[in-house]
Amino acid sequence: MLADILGYYAKEPTKVGTLKVDIVKSVEYSYEQEVTSHPVEKGYEIHDTIVNKPLRLHLSVAISSMPVTWFWTNGQGSTKFQDGYEALVAIREAKQPITIVRPDRIINDLVMTSCKLGNNNESLSVMNVELDFIQIKMVETKTVEIPQNIVDASVKESVGESGANGGNANQTNNPDEKIKAGANKAKGKSIFKSIKDWFKGGTAK
């Protein structure tokens, strides 16, 4: 990867979020598909039985404290190890998708799933980093405004249903209650008749 080593044909080094890396040892893009294990009948759309899985990206990179590549923009010195470590930890703690910029492409909406850092005795001036990412699908939610005439019609219909005539609250379908009500009515008439007869009798005397 000559562009990564010498910076040819690229304006900037590979960036992982805000971290500019000095050396890219390998890059691996993984495009996987899940295919049904059940028999597929002829005549049906075959793509309905195949599911595209999210892109997976593996980066094997290194941060150098010595001026090896991109030193005119990445700088040099032992503090680069600490700066690189803090940048990667910040990506992990933020739990947010990031963008990775490569000399040949830009990949958005990547979430870090693994990060391994270390160095070996052969090159103490280089910190090796193994990174794994998975690309997530971002969607936007939209709010739809309901026209006022539809809202008014819906409210009117609701009021009409709640205001329907429910009948006389004093009505009853219980036979015993009807008999009792009839008896009370007859009793009321009987008392009225007795009072009327008493007045008649008193007048006659």
DSSP assignments along 47-114, one per residue: GGGEEEPPPEEEEEEEEESSSSSSHHHH--STHHHHHHHHHHHHHHHHT--EEEE-SS-EEEEEEEEE
Please check whether residue 172 is in contact with residue 182, taking contact to mean a CB–CB distance below 8 angstroms. no
Question: Residues with Cβ < 8 Å from 149, sequence gap 6 or more?
Answer: none
The Cα 200–Cα 205 span in angstroms is 9
pLDDT value for 146: 77
Which positions of the chain have pLDDT values less than 50? 1-9, 169, 203-205
What is the SS3 assignment for 193? helix
The candidate with the shortest Cα–Cα distance to 125, out of 70, 74, 64, is: 64
What is the SS3 assignment for 195? helix
What pTM was estimated for this model as a whole? 0.58
pLDDT value for 201: 59
40-67 tens-digit pLDDT: 777 666 666 788 899 999 999 988 877 6
Inter-CA distances, 2 with 9, 22, 54, 117, 182, Å:
9, 13, 28, 24, 108
In the CATH hierarchy, which top-level class contains the domain 2-34+47-135? mainly beta
Reported residue count of the chain is 205
Cα 60–Cα 61–Cα 62 angle in degrees, nearest 5: 140
Query: Which H or E run includes 34?
Result: strand 33-35
DSSP code, position 118: E
Phi, psi values for residue 182, rounded to 5°: -65, -40
- Percent of the chain past pLDDT 90, that is, above it, reads 27
DSSP code, position 186: H
- Percent of the chain past pLDDT 70, that is, above it, reads 57
Domain boundaries, the chain: 2-34+47-135, 175-205
